[in-house]
């Protein structure tokens, strides 16, 4: 019973009409890689953020450095923006003809396309009904073709009735390290665009109420990196891999100032082994990668489990299998993370859902890794890692719990690094400490660390050590937060997802409410060890269950089935590389509810 | 000078009687005793294999890691606490087979680690397959028709990879080996010490007598260890005479010395967190 429905972007497009009551404004900036889309998009996002508006920005790009097609989606509103929105925009900045041709029919009535009239033509028949062509004669307005994005940005600021002085500030900050000439050129181009729009284009429409509220504009990876620093991470080793690389980039730029050693390793195997080496001697260490690099790390994850060494591993998922979709999002690695490495050992998997949670759960990951002396994984994905969002603020003063240590304390009798304890946790000592010498071994060992792997018959010790380590899972389950239900308890349907689909599910619940359908959702951030009984209770209370995931086989639903005994039969999945948008999901949920 | 017994753990080595690794263990214990390094300040890191069991026989801190991964673990540990004396140990399969990539990168990184490879030119713990340093033509369990590949030359590889200390020892010359270990520990930067450590069980070709007939000490022949070309030439010698001793040594800043994050001292002693440093958030406004 039940069915799995796959949603594919770009198929069965609805007309470019926002849902009733939606006051957000969507801006798309498209062109070839190298056209300056990200810089224009980020500048626009920053202007909005500094205008007291809220936004979410998602960049859809290809694995090419020059050429190809790239499109930045920015959605701005007066309230919290949960997704990059449905497949339409109010304003399109087309930095090449291809972009204009692709999206001219996706512009809502009253909106328009901004383009360089010297290079691109937009014919009325290409445009959606009521959309306008806003041609800009860039060659008469700026000193270089390279400035066409800045000219368009200036025009857009006018069309949305944002303030030119805000854009001036953003340009000055963005190019602060460049020459004065670069700043002057960009300011002149922006002003020319603004003035041209004021003179030749219709007065602002789709305006939003600006406020003095100041927020932070941040990506998931930046929040992870910041969380690591706040938690006292001193060592980050990694090998470049999209979409995890921007964690490395941000940390590299701040390493010297904030006392972090960033080591680019020769491969992911070295990266995680370095982090474990650093963790062994008492430094909080992290590594980050995506699915392919994570696959290389798996043996060492088991070693961290066996040697009871704390290590934090970020895996930002992208489309698989194999090299798959290097620049596209997916949630397809749940079982790779839960199944990584041979044998049974305690591990933890945290799945942040928002930028704030990227920060908060990263700080928690370090505490858990040291408290339970085991590998702690943070599951992100391209959408969560790379999208930018306005958030209200972050408290950098986070609790730091180093777990049970003998450092600085005398040890009575022989120190046993892997002492059998009721909690399974054995107090750690760091090399350099007097009186606690031990060897940590990836072979099975006794409480004192001495190998038993080659001892002919010591099954009792093996069993005792296995039970000691696994007892940490029971201890952790007693300490980890309980799963929660969010929304109306007696809702018609409970939506279940994990990670980056949080925003989608929140917006879908709002829209369903607008149509008289009540929905709630399961709040799930600590995926492993899983509180199966508590989650099962919540699932059983639901009138109807629908699972929403960005992978082919509904991996979370399968995990919940094994851990709670509740099978979620109705599943909405997506594995085309692009993130979910709310419209098709709302439509599908209504369909599923209609058919009982 | 400390007592050598201070560096003996309660665990007795379980190597085959006559194994070359006993001499390496003894020489290492003698060397750290001579240098009077407190056992608590030593971290011995190994991979997997007969010789990688060595940290368990030492009364120092140790990490017995994964096959081929001793060097990245040792690197992470050293960068995290460079007050420690970090010594990596392992075999030729561990270091020059599965771990070869890490070997080259660790050499060029010049982290201050001594890497002792007990090179017996065979896989011992897995009962006698060809290793990366097995001579061409050698018949082993996995190569009944003789090894087809040319062997890895670890010394030459270290030399061309920017190595700052490249040496070779022999288990049949324990006092010489002890001195090499001391020099390797004192060397500022990555020190490779490849040791002929005969496997008496699975390598019936490269035996103690075989080496005794061939090895000579480079210092006895007026070798200039600052001369890269001379070092490369000696590293290539195999047929007839085989050199032991320090082939090459150079001064270059270590990775730790050049790493900005370590200017304030060992990472493990630096303060944690961002409390009071809210200005880090300004770039997001």
Cβ-based contacts of A49 with chain B (< 8 Å)? 285
Give contacts of A307 with chain B, Cβ < 8 Å: 63, 65
Q: Tens digits of per-residue pLDDT, A504-550? A: 999 999 999 999 999 999 999 999 999 999 999 999 999 999 999 99
In angstroms, the CA B195 to CA B245 distance is 10
pLDDT score at A555: 98
Predicted local confidence at residue A408, as pLDDT: 65
| Nearest residue in chain A measured CA to CA from B79 | A278
**CATH code given to domain B4-284:** 3.40.50.970
List of chain A residues whose C-beta atoms are within 8 Å of the C-beta of residue B76: 235, 237, 263, 273-280, 285
| pLDDT score recorded for residue A453 | 79
Dist CA B42 CA A438 (whole Å): 11
Q: Does B65 touch chain A (CB under 8 A)?
A: yes
Strand partners, A459: none
Q: Where are the domains of chain B?
A: 4-284
Provide mean pLDDT across the span A233-261. Answer: 97
- Mean pLDDT rounded to a whole number for chain A: 96
Pairwise CB contact (< 8 Å): B261 & A255: yes
Question: Would you state the pLDDT for residue A409?
Answer: 65
Q: Is B55 on the interface with A (CB under 8 A)?
A: yes
Q: What are A168-195's pLDDT values in tens digits?
A: 999 999 999 999 999 999 999 999 999 9
Is B273 near chain A, with CB under 8 Å?
yes
Tell me the pLDDT tens digit for each residue of A513-525: 999 999 999 999 9
Q: Averaged over A472-484, what is the pLDDT?
A: 97
**Which neighbouring-strand residues pair with B193?**
B116, B167
A50 with B264: Cβ contact below 8 A: no
CATH number of A218-391: 3.90.1300.10, 3.40.50.970, 3.55.40.10, 3.40.50.2030? 3.40.50.970
Q: Which chain A residue shows the shortest CA-CA distance from B64?
A: A441
pLDDT of residue A551: 98
Per the CB < 8 Å rule, is A267 touching B55? no
Report whether A28 contacts A209 (CB < 8 A).
no
Average pLDDT over residues B259-278: 96
Closest chain A residue to the Cα of B55, Cα to Cα: A439
Q: Which two tokens stand for residue B95?
A: 């270091």
User: Of chain B residues 240-269, which have a CB less than 8 A from chain A?
Assistant: 259-262, 264, 267-268
Residue range A484-594, CATH number: 3.40.50.920
**pLDDT the model gives residue A373:** 98
CB-CB under 8 Å, B264 with A216: no
Is A235 within 8 Å of B79 when comparing Cβ atoms?
A: yes
**Nearest neighbour of B69 by CB, restricted to A254, A269, A443:** A269
Of B66, B79, B260, the CB nearest to A256: B260
Nearest residue to A47 (alpha-carbon basis) of A197, A157, A196:
A157
- For residue B285, list chain A residues with Cβ-Cβ distance below 8 A: 49-50, 214-217
3-state SS class at A539: helix
CATH code linked to domain A14-200: 3.40.920.10
- For helices A164-174 and A148-159, angle between their N-to-C axes, nearest 10 degrees: 150
Residue A301: closest C-alpha in chain B? B66
| Parts of chain A belonging to CATH 3.40.50.920 | 484-594
DSSP annotation string for A80-107: ---SS-SS-EEEEEESSHHHHHHHGGGE
Contacts of B11 in chain A (CB under 8 A): 450-451
Long-range contacts formed by A160-166: CB under 8 A, 24+ apart: A160/A25, A160/A91, A160/A204, A160/A206, A160/A207, A160/A208, A161/A204, A161/A207, A162/A47, A162/A48, A162/A51, A162/A210, A163/A51, A163/A210, A164/A190, A164/A191, A164/A194, A166/A47, A166/A50, A166/A51
Instruction: Give exposure, A209-227, as e/b (b: 16+ Cβ within 10 Å).
Output: ebeeeebbbbbbbbbbbbb
Q: Tell if the pTM clears 0.90, that is, is over it.
A: yes
**Contact of A285 with A311, CB cutoff 8 Å:** yes
Domain ranges in chain A with CATH number 3.40.920.10: 14-200
Confidence (pLDDT) at A67: 74
**pLDDT tens figures, B134-150:** 999 999 999 999 999 99
Q: Out of A400, A437, A442, name the one closest to residue B65 (CB).
A: A442
The pLDDT score that the predictor gives to residue A353 is 98
Q: Which of A50, A300, A437 sits opposite B60 (nearest CB)?
A: A437
pLDDT at residue number B17: 97
The pLDDT score that the predictor gives to residue A212 is 95
Pick among B61, B94, B278 to test the A interface (most A CBs inside 10 A) = B61
Q: What is the pLDDT of residues A395-424, one digit of tens each?
A: 999 999 999 999 766 667 889 999 999 999
Whether the per-residue pLDDT at B95 is higher than 90: the answer is: yes
> Is the pLDDT confidence value at A457 over 90?
no
């Amino acid at each position: 019973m039940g069915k799995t429905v796959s949603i594919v972007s770009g198929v069965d497009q609805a007309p470019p009409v926002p849902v009733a009551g939606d006051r957000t404004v969507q801006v798309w900036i498209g062109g070839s890689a190298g056209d300056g889309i990200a810089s224009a998009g980020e500048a626009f996002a920053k202007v909005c953020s500094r205008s007291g508006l809220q936004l979410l920005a998602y960049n859809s790009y290809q694995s090419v450095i020059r050429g190809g097609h790239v499109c930045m989606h920015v959605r701005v509103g007066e309230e919290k923006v949960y997704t990059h929105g449905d497949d339409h925009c109010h304003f399109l900045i087309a930095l090449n003809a291809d972009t204009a041709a692709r999206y001219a029919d996706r512009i809502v009535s009253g909106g328009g396309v901004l383009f360089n009239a010297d290079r691109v033509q937009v014919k009325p028949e290409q445009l959606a009904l009521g959309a306008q062509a806003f041609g800009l004669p860039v060659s008469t307005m700026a000193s270089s073709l390279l400035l066409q994005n800045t000219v368009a940005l200036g025009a857009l600021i006018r069309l949305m009735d944002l303030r030119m002085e805000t854009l001036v500030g953003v340009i000055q900050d963005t190019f602060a390290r460049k020459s004065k000439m670069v700043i002057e050129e960009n300011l002149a181009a922006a002003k020319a665009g603004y003035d041209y729009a004021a003179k030749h284009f219709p007065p602002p429409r789709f305006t939003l109420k600006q406020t003095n509220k100041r927020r932070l504009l941040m990506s998931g990876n930046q929040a992870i990196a910041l969380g690591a620093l706040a938690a006292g991470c001193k060592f980050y080793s990694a090998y470049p891999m999209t979409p995890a690389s921007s964690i490395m980039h941000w940390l590299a730029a701040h390493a010297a100032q904030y006392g972090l050693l960033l080591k680019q390793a020769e491969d992911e195997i070295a990266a995680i082994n370095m982090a474990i080496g650093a963790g062994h001697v008492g430094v909080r260490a992290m590594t980050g990668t995506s699915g392919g690099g994570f696959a290389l790390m798996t043996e060492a994850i088991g070693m961290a489990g066996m040697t009871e060494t704390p290590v934090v591993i970020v895996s930002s998922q992208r489309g698989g299998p194999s090299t798959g979709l290097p620049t596209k999002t997916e949630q397809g690695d749940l079982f790779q993370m839960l199944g990584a490495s041979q044998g049974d050992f305690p591990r933890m998997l945290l799945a942040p859902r928002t930028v704030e949670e990227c920060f908060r759960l990263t700080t928690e990951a370090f505490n858990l890794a040291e408290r339970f002396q085991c590998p702690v994984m943070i599951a992100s994905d391209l959408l969560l890692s790379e999208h930018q969002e306005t958030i209200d603020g972050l408290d950098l003063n986070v609790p730091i719990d180093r777990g049970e240590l003998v450092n600085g304390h005398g040890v009575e009798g022989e120190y046993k690094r892997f002492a059998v304890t009721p909690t399974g946790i054995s107090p750690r000592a760091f090399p350099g400490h007097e009186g606690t010498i031990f060897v940590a071994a990836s072979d099975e060992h006794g409480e004192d660390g001495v190998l038993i792997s080659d001892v002919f018959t010591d099954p009792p010790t093996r069993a005792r050590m296995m039970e000691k380590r696994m007892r940490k899972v029971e201890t952790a389950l007693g300490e980890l937060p309980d799963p929660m239900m969010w929304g109306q308890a007696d809702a018609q349907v409970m939506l279940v997802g994990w990670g980056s689909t949080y925003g989608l599910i929140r917006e879908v619940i709002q829209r369903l409410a607008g149509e008289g359908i009540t929905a709630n959702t399961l709040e799930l951030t600590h995926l492993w060890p899983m509180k199966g009984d508590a989650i099962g209770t919540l699932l059983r209370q639901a009138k109807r269950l629908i699972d929403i995931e960005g992978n082919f086989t509904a991996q979370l639903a399968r995990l919940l089935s094994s851990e709670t005994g509740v099978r979620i039969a109705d599943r909405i999945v997506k594995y085309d590389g692009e993130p979910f948008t709310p419209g098709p999901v709302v439509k599908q949920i209504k369909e599923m509810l209609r058919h009982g | 000078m400390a007592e050598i017994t201070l560096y003996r753990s309660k665990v007795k080595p379980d190597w085959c009687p006559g194994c070359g690794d006993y001499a390496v263990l003894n020489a290492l214990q003698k060397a750290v005793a001579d240098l009077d390094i407190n056992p608590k300040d030593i971290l011995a890191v190994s991979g997997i294999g007969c010789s990688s069991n060595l940290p368990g026989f030492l009364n120092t801190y140790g990490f017995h890691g994964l096959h081929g991964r001793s060097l990245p673990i040792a690197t992470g540990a050293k960068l995290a606490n460079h007050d420690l004396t970090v010594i990596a140990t392992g075999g030729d399969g561990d270091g020059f087979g599965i771990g070869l990539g890490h070997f080259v990168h660790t050499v060029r990184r010049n982290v201050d680690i001594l890497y002792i490879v007990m090179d017996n030119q065979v896989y011992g713990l897995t009962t006698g397959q060809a290793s990366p340093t097995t001579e061409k033509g050698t018949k082993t369990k996995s190569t009944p028709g003789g090894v087809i590949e040319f062997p890895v030359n670890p010394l030459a590889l270290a030399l061309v990879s920017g190595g700052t200390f490249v040496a070779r020892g022999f288990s049949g010359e324990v006092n010489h080996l002890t001195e090499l270990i001391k020099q390797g520990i004192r060397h500022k930067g990555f020190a490779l010490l490849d040791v002929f450590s005969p496997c008496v069980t699975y390598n019936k070709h490269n035996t103690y007598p075989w080496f005794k007939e061939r090895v000579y000490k480079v210092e006895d022949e007026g070798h200039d260890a600052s001369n890269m070309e001379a070092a490369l030439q000696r590293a290539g010698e195999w047929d007839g005479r085989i050199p032991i001793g320090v082939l090459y040594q150079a001064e270059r800043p270590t990775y730790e010395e050049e790493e900005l994050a370590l200017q304030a001292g060992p990472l493990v002693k630096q303060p944690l967190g961002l409390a009071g440093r809210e200005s880090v958030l300004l770039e997001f406004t």
